[in-house]
Amino acid sequence: MSIVTEEPRLHVDQTKADSLATSLLFLLALTVAQRFIGFLRNILFCGFMQDDELGRWSLAFSFLVLASPLVVLGLPGSFGRYVERYRQRGQLRSFLAYTTAASLLCVAVASAAIMATARTWAWLVFGDATLAPLVTLLTVTLVAVTASNFVTELLTALRRVRAVSVMQFVGSVTFAVLAVTLLAVTPLREEAVIIAFGVSSLIAALGMIGPLRWVRREATASGSLMPRGQLWRKLLPFAAWVWVINLTANLFDAADRFMIVHFAKETGATAESLVGQYHASYVVPYLLVGVAGTVAAAILPYLSHDWEAGDYAGVSRRLRLSFKLGSLGMTGVGAAILVGSPILFTWILRGRYDQGLSVLPWTLTYCAWFSLTIIAQNYLWCAEKARLGSLALAIGLATNIGLNFVLLPRFGLLGAVLATAMANAVALTMVLYFSRRLGLAADRGMLACAALPLALATGPYPAAAILLSVAALASRGSWLFDEGEKRELAAVAGRYWSRVRALVTSRRMAST
């Protein structure tokens, strides 16, 4: 083992970097606000656009999400791992110069290639080669989105989380306001939303120029040069792995929409209408996925702490309880969504997305399973086996594609949603299998909770009845929660009840 001692180490200015606690609180607050804005925005999109127009926007957005990390070969995804290393070694300038130049070159080549083959891409993305002009617009938007993602990854790696959060919030608000305005006052439909998304991404990127000036000053001060070969030997394998992870995860999310376009019995605008109906069906369920992502990110530091302390039983205990509560909570919220869904689809959306309403139970089911997969994957992260998480998604993706070949031509939209639900069940099963092989102590209650979201497929009132039955049985015996978990839940409930009582008492005293 060789130890490098000659490279200079820069003093890290802690006043510039956000503290972890402050960053997380700030991020959580803005995340909640962004979710609410995104929900309202999607409802307005459903109201302003016909289902085929909404379908084209859904396909366009899926393309942007897929393409933006791919065209830069996953390089920005490596910033979180390597920026601090080269910053402390005084080689930040070389690192940024090489990665920025490589990213610009990749974007230029990819954009030129997409524009030169616009008709082919129009057929791949939309199933219609005549939509080549829309691909040209998408390519311009892709450049803006990639720039925004690049700057976001860089500033996040430098722990400027508050600046990133603020500009992402500004971008989200700008996107909503501009898109709705264009839809309301112009004849543009999906084009309006694509333009608004590109402009908002560009505004978010430009808004981070201020923090980037500080980065430039520090990079200029770090004058140590780094041979290009040394950087790429270290960076490219990691970036390639990030590239594969992004591709697998994004394809897992988007495959069903592209399968509908190419393999449904319907073609052209009719297939795009199915995608639009599908998009409307997961506007509300995807809120569950967002909440699960926030919960998973919040509990990971605690799991990592226990893991590094050698308390592997504690990791299993925390994850098991989080998984069970997540399943019960998401199934309960899902049942409530099903009860209230006629208000949204029949009254607010005026019955224009009835096909989306018909598949909503299965959409909620697979979103709940995907949310549980996000939570369960934390065990693989702690065990430093992230590749097994990607393998689970890859197996789920293969399942999705295979089942869509069979079910989509026969059952249409329902077939696509059933295929996606089964794929998510397979992915969750594989994550739990890999985790158990690595030491996760999954009891029968955890396995029962893994299956519980299937109750949502039975409809609102049967799902509610099943959930209430499970809750009643859980209060008796230890088949769902063991005695230790019950004591922990009782202790937490007792602490919060004491706080509520103290708050009520203090307010009464203040009023008298």
Residues 91 and 190 grouped into a single domain? yes
Count of other CB atoms within 10 angstroms of residue 54:
30
The answer to whether position 2 is within a domain reads no
The answer to whether position 85 is within a domain reads yes
Which of 191-205, 291-305, 417-431 has the least mean pLDDT?
Answer: 291-305
Residues 210 and 317 grouped into a single domain? no
CA distance 396 to 253: 10
Residues 20 and 88 grouped into a single domain? yes
* The pair of three-digit structure tokens given for residue 334, joined into one six-digit string: 């899902």
In degrees and rounded to multiples of 5, residue 208 shows phi and psi of: -95, 10
- With beta carbons less than 8 A apart as the criterion, state whether 438 and 391 touch: no
According to the model, what pLDDT value does residue 159 have? 72
Q: In this model, does residue 16 exceed pLDDT 60?
A: no
* The pair of three-digit structure tokens given for residue 37, joined into one six-digit string: 């804005």
Which of 87-91, 352-356, 439-443 has the least mean pLDDT?
Answer: 87-91
According to the model, what pLDDT value does residue 354 have? 93
According to the model, what pLDDT value does residue 4 have? 34
How confident is residue 494, by pLDDT bands cut at 50, 70 and 90? confident
The answer to whether position 403 is within a domain reads yes
Residues 342 and 214 grouped into a single domain? no
Residues 312 and 226 grouped into a single domain? no
- Number of H helices and E strands in the chain, helices first, is 20, 0
The answer to whether position 319 is within a domain reads yes
Residues 189 and 81 grouped into a single domain? yes
According to the model, what pLDDT value does residue 241 have? 82
- With beta carbons less than 8 A apart as the criterion, state whether 310 and 391 touch: no
More confident position, 81 or 46: 46
Q: In this model, does residue 396 exceed pLDDT 70?
A: yes
Residues 201 and 298 grouped into a single domain? no
Single out the residue in 207, 232, 257 at which a domain terminates: 232
Average pLDDT over residues 264-285: 86
Q: In this model, does residue 399 exceed pLDDT 70?
A: yes
According to the model, what pLDDT value does residue 9 have? 35
Residues 211 and 322 grouped into a single domain? no
Among all chains, which residue has been given the structure tokens 């201020």? 210
User: What pTM was estimated for this model as a whole?
Assistant: 0.84
CA distance 257 to 62: 8
Which residue segment(s) compose the domain that 144 sits in? 16-232
How confident is residue 5, by pLDDT bands cut at 50, 70 and 90? very low
Interval 287-345: pLDDT, tens: 888 888 878 877 887 888 889 889 999 999 999 999 999 999 999 999 999 999 999 99
Interval 155-167: pLDDT, tens: 877 777 777 778 8
CA distance 356 to 351: 10
Per DSSP, the three-state class of 359 is coil
Which of 70-74, 162-166, 224-228, 323-327 has the least mean pLDDT?
Answer: 224-228
Among all chains, which residue has been given the structure tokens 């096909």? 355
* The pair of three-digit structure tokens given for residue 169, joined into one six-digit string: 């919030």
The answer to whether position 261 is within a domain reads no
The answer to whether position 167 is within a domain reads yes
Average pLDDT over residues 492-506: 75
Residues 94 and 202 grouped into a single domain? yes
Residues 436 and 301 grouped into a single domain? yes
According to the model, what pLDDT value does residue 8 have? 34
- Counting the structural domains of the chain, the total is 2
Which of 106-110, 336-340, 392-396, 494-498 has the least mean pLDDT?
Answer: 494-498
Tell me 347's DSSP state.
I
Q: In this model, does residue 7 exceed pLDDT 70?
A: no
The answer to whether position 434 is within a domain reads yes
Residues 493 and 384 grouped into a single domain? yes
The answer to whether position 8 is within a domain reads no
According to the model, what pLDDT value does residue 207 have? 86
According to the model, what pLDDT value does residue 14 have? 41
Average pLDDT over residues 385-390: 88
The residue type of 45 is F
Q: In this model, does residue 118 exceed pLDDT 80?
A: yes
Q: How many CA atoms lie within 13 A of 496 on its CB side?
A: 5
Tell me 343's DSSP state.
I
Single out the residue in 232, 255, 271 at which a domain terminates: 232
Single out the residue in 214, 232, 250 at which a domain terminates: 232
Residues 93 and 173 grouped into a single domain? yes
